[in-house]
């Protein structure tokens, strides 16, 4: 194999290995956790918290309602027992009863509203919990195929790593050194020539270099960017 071909093969294998590493990281992340299920879980937890808060508020209102009913009962017992004879005291008692009755009415309204809110929140929390369960189970059932894909990708990466070692071994130390230093300065050491243009700098390759590229086995460099030219 001509040196330039061996170099080009090495570059292609290294690019493919880089892509394969990204694919492997991506699939490992998809096996570890599912973004959809995570999002659905966060929504379900938030809805559950909202519901708990509403239920706590409802319980507090319930307590206040019980207190008010007890107070009213006591006041009415006093009113009807006849133990309060003085008209001034009776008036005060009636005022107090009126006050607690109004309070009872207000609390009843608030309680009804709160119960309605809690009911809506409960339905929503149940829906979101179901959506989360569904997303979670969908993810779990996709795991075997994700794991099979992961094994396939890993095998592919292993094969390419072996081919890369082979491609490196086919090159001399000097060739490899030249390749690495170009790679460090240019990102890619080898550029394909397509329609007479260097694929690295997109500038027309002079005919002298094009000629050399076809006639010699030694790598020819682009006079503009310095990359090795690979006949496309």
Closer to Zn ion by Cβ: residue 178 or 200? 200
* Minimum distance of Zn ion from residue 189's CB (angstroms): 11
How many C-alpha atoms does 223 have within 13 Å on its Cβ side? 9
* Minimum distance of Zn ion from residue 210's CB (angstroms): 12
Q: Burial, 182: exposed, middle or buried (Cβ in 10 Å; 0-12, 13-18, 19+)? A: buried
* Minimum distance of Zn ion from residue 130's CB (angstroms): 59
* Minimum distance of Zn ion from residue 229's CB (angstroms): 8
Please work out, in degrees rounded to the nearest 5, the angle formed at the alpha carbon of residue 65 by the alpha carbons of 116 and 78. Answer: 150
Closer to Zn ion by Cβ: residue 51 or 205? 205
Closer to Zn ion by Cβ: residue 61 or 200? 200
Closer to Zn ion by Cβ: residue 51 or 198? 198
Would you report the helix, strand and coil content of the chain in percent, each value rounded to 5? 80, 5, 15
Task: Please give the helix or strand (H or E) that residue 197 lies within, else none.
Answer: strand 197-198
Q: Burial, 6: exposed, middle or buried (Cβ in 10 Å; 0-12, 13-18, 19+)? A: buried
Closer to Zn ion by Cβ: residue 75 or 222? 222
Give yes or no for a contact between 37 and 216, defined as CB atoms under 8 angstroms apart. no
* Minimum distance of Zn ion from residue 202's CB (angstroms): 8
Strand, helix or coil for residue 148: helix
Closer to Zn ion by Cβ: residue 44 or 222? 222
Closer to Zn ion by Cβ: residue 84 or 224? 224
What residue ranges bind Zn ion (CB under 5 A)? 198, 200-201, 222, 224-225
* Minimum distance of Zn ion from residue 4's CB (angstroms): 14
Q: Which residues contact 192 (CB under 8 A, 6 or more apart)?
A: 199, 230, 231, 232
DSSP state of 221: B
* Minimum distance of Zn ion from residue 1's CB (angstroms): 23
Give the closest residue to 108 by CA, choosing from 68, 55, 56.
68
């Amino acid at each position: 194999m001509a040196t330039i071909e061996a170099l080009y093969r090495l570059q292609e294998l290294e690019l493919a290995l880089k892509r394969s590493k990204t694919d492997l990281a991506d699939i490992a992340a998809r096996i570890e956790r599912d973004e959809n299920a995570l999002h659905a879980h966060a929504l379900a937890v938030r809805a559950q918290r909202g519901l708990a808060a509403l239920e706590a508020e409802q319980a507090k209102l319930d307590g206040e309602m019980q207190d008010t009913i007890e107070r009213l009962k006591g006041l009415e017992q006093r009113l009807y027992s006849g133990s309060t004879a003085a008209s001034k005291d009776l008036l005060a008692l009636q005022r107090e009863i009126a006050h607690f009755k109004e309070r009872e009415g207000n609390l009843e309204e608030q309680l009804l509203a709160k119960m309605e809110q809690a009911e809506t929140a409960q339905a929503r929390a149940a829906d979101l919990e179901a959506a989360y369960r569904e997303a979670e189970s969908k993810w779990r059932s996709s795991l075997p195929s994700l794991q099979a894909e992961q094994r396939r990708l890993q095998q592919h990466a292993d094969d390419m790593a072996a081919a890369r070692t082979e491609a490196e071994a086919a090159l001399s130390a000097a060739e490899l050194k030249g390749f690495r230093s170009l790679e460090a300065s240019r990102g890619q050491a080898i550029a394909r020539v397509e329609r007479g243009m260097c694929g690295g700098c997109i500038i027309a390759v002079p005919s002298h270099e094009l000629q050399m590229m076809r006639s010699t086995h030694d790598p020819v460099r682009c006079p503009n960017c310095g990359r090795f030219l690979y006949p496309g």
